[in-house]
Structures are given as C-alpha cells and as structure tokens.
C-alpha cells in the first residue's frame, strides 16, 4: 500500500465496474449500492475537502444509478429469447482451404 493514497477509491471504482457489468437487475442494483458505500468510505478517509466532495458526489450518483431502471429500448443479448441472433452477427470472408495454413505450430 502506498502512503498518502486512499485505498477505498480503487475499491469504489472496482465496485462501479462490477455494477456496469452486472447481468441482471438485482445484481446491478446491489453492486451500485456497494459502490455508493465504498465512495462514502473513501470520502470519510479523505483529508482534502475538494476530493471529499467529489467522492460524496460519486456516492450520490451511484445511489441514483441503483434506483434507475435499465434502458428498455436496448435488448439484453444475454437473456434467452432476445432479438439478437446468429444472423445478426457480422459476416466474415469465407475461408480459403486451398492454401496451407501457417501459424505458430507450423
């Protein structure tokens, strides 16, 4: 651990990333609330008033994110029955089997 650095900031940022990557609504909400608690903890440990206010603002923002509903206009591709299909995948050029393959093992 470095001296002079607030270790709770990295933990709060990691919690925010976990919230962004959450797959379902409950996990997303819980992760945002955890991020808010981590930002509160970072603010408590901060001695600089400017940074303390920044961390408090981030805590409030994380709580707002926890109460927001995800955007319903974009389908979640991880759910079964979503509108994303294999046909929607980007097309690639067909493989040319006439040429020998070269790679790391050849």
| 101 lies in some domain | no
| 27 lies in some domain | yes
Total number of domains constituting the chain: 1
| 75 lies in some domain | no
Per-residue pLDDT 10s for the chain (106 aa) are 556 788 999 999 999 999 999 999 999 999 999 999 999 999 999 988 999 999 999 999 999 999 987 664 344 544 554 455 555 656 666 666 676 666 666 5
Domain of residue 26, residue span: 15-68
| 95 lies in some domain | no
Neighbours of 32 (CB within 10 A): 24
Q: Collect all residues with Cβ–Cβ distance below 8 Å to 58 and sequence separation of at least 6.
A: 12, 39
- pTM exceeding the 0.75 threshold for the entire prediction: no
| 39 lies in some domain | yes
| CA atoms within a 13 Å half-sphere pointing along the CA-CB vector of 1 | 8
């Amino acid at each position: 651990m470095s001296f002079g650095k607030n270790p709770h900031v990295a933990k709060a940022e990691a919690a925010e990333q976990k919230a962004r990557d959450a797959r379902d609504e409950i996990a997303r909400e819980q992760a945002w609330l955890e991020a808010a608690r981590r930002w509160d903890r970072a603010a408590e440990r901060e001695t600089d008033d400017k940074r303390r206010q920044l961390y408090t603002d981030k805590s409030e923002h994380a709580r707002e994110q926890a109460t927001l509903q995800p955007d319903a206009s974009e389908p979640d591709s991880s759910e079964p029955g979503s509108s994303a299909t294999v046909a929607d995948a980007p097309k690639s050029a067909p493989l040319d089997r006439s040429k020998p393959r070269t790679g790391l093992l050849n």
